Amino acid sequence: MSLSFPRHHRARTAALLALVLLAPTACADDERDAAAPGAIKVGLLASLSGTYQAVGKEMRDGFELYLSTHDGKLGGHQVELVVADEGNGAATAVPAATKLLKQDRVVALTGIVGGGSVAAVYPLLNETKVPFVGANGRPALKDVSRVWHTSYLSDEPGEAIASYVHDNVDGSVYAIGPDYQGGWDELRGFTEAFVKAGGRLANPDGKTTFTPFPATTNFTPYFARIKASGATAVYTFYAGSAAVDFVKQYAQSEIKDLPLYAAGFLTEGGVLDAQGPAARDIYSVLNYSPDLDNAENRAFVAAWKAKKDGSPTTYAMASYDAAAVLDRAVADAGDDPTPERINAAIGRLGQIASPRGTWQFSPTTHAPVQKWYLRQVRPDGRALSNTVVGDLATVGG
């Protein structure tokens, strides 16, 4: 014999049974949510348009590569990466940074291609008290309490290669570069160290020749000046599309037989492919090359090539390292990684294992103390590559 209950009793019993069955699952979900650290927002500002578009995209891709190989997390926290376009400089960088810092309320900012953009965004960092882990060159700043860089100070590449150029060039050297903050810093680093080492500049006034930026695309008139100066070699800094124009025109000019030395950005990444044979034999200085033989670099290059064509650049590497820095700092900042806690944690990191080799932040400049490498554009199979041919100075401090 079966028991029969009124319909309203049956409905109430079913509802209670559903609550009982669901309760353990809901509690388990609540426990998992409570145990899992909250998501955080990180801002990435880079040139995704303009002269340095290729550089900015490499920086974005390097940071995203680190996230993709670490389950989208930094320090155990799921990351929402908010990307903004720096454009060609301060005029577009400042409003983009303002949105990231004040509207999106990111806990840390990374990226930034141009030194002028860094200088312009700098007051916003102090106002919002958000740490900046930059991934490209920057000028010297008075207060670096919230400013860190995984790349270099903009005068360091030239400083690192100056003695080598002095020792290997018999005669004077002509210095030329773009007329903006990054160009001023890059060329100052070389010229000051070169003259200090006993070198002589071929420039008629003893000062670097600066070309209007970003307007200059025809360098032929400047090559005529170099020819007239009697220089026996040239030192330069250009990057992005300007580097392609400079190198291609140099190879067709009346000074094509003069040895060309440069900050490594002249032949870095996709610009080397665009330059083709015109770039052959150029010597450059940089803090990274994809052929460096260490465990971190082998893993980095393999992960990059699994997703991208070609080899990673110093821009991608520095941005990858910026993510690694934030990963350790966010973990050290605890369950509530506020901007202030993250900033304090960065200062405690010590040595950092990197594809470029081990480095650490300078306590005074917050830029890397790192080794620099001499590279030459040489054939690598059917392609050209920036091949490391020697070690240069360790710079930073």
Q: What is the pTM of this model?
A: 0.82
The H or E element spanning position 362 is none
Candidates 66, 100, 64; CA nearest to 82 is: 100
Distance, in Å, from the CA atom of 83 to the CA atom of 42, rounded to the nearest integer, reads 9
- For the chain, the farthest-separated pair of C-alpha atoms sits apart, in whole angstroms, at 115
Helix axes 339-346, 314-332, angle to 10 degrees: 110
Distance, in Å, from the CA atom of 38 to the CA atom of 56, rounded to the nearest integer, reads 29
Q: What is the pLDDT of residue 397?
A: 60
330-352: buried (b, 16+ CB within 10 Å) or exposed (e) per residue? bbbbeeebebebbbebbeeeeeb
Q: What is the pLDDT of residue 139?
A: 83
CB contact set of 10 (below 8 Å; sequence gap of 6+): none
Q: What is the pLDDT of residue 1?
A: 38
Antiparallel, parallel or unpaired: β 209-212 and 77-85: unpaired
Distance, in Å, from the CA atom of 331 to the CA atom of 337, rounded to the nearest integer, reads 8
Q: What is the pLDDT of residue 120?
A: 95
Distance, in Å, from the CA atom of 304 to the CA atom of 317, rounded to the nearest integer, reads 10
Candidates 371, 361, 285; CA nearest to 321 is: 361
Candidates 170, 295, 279; CA nearest to 233 is: 170
Identity of the residue numbered 245: D
Show pLDDT as tens, one digit a residue, over the chain (397 residues): 333 334 444 444 344 334 333 344 344 334 333 345 689 999 999 999 998 898 999 999 999 999 999 999 999 999 999 999 999 999 999 999 999 999 999 999 999 999 899 999 999 999 999 999 999 988 888 899 999 999 999 899 999 999 999 999 999 999 999 999 889 999 999 999 999 999 999 999 999 999 999 999 999 999 999 999 999 999 999 998 999 999 999 999 999 999 999 999 999 988 999 999 999 999 999 999 998 999 999 999 999 999 998 899 999 999 999 999 999 999 999 899 999 999 999 999 999 999 999 999 999 999 999 999 999 999 988 889 999 999 998 887 6
Antiparallel, parallel or unpaired: β 368-380 and 383-395: antiparallel
Strand partners, 334: none
Cβ neighbours, 10 Å, residue 307: 11
Q: What is the pLDDT of residue 37?
A: 67
Distance, in Å, from the CA atom of 316 to the CA atom of 156, rounded to the nearest integer, reads 19
What are the C-alpha distances in Å from 388 to residues 164, 288, 314, 367? 14, 9, 13, 23
Q: Is the peptide bond before 214 cis (omega within 30 degrees of 0)?
A: yes
The H or E element spanning position 28 is helix 7-35
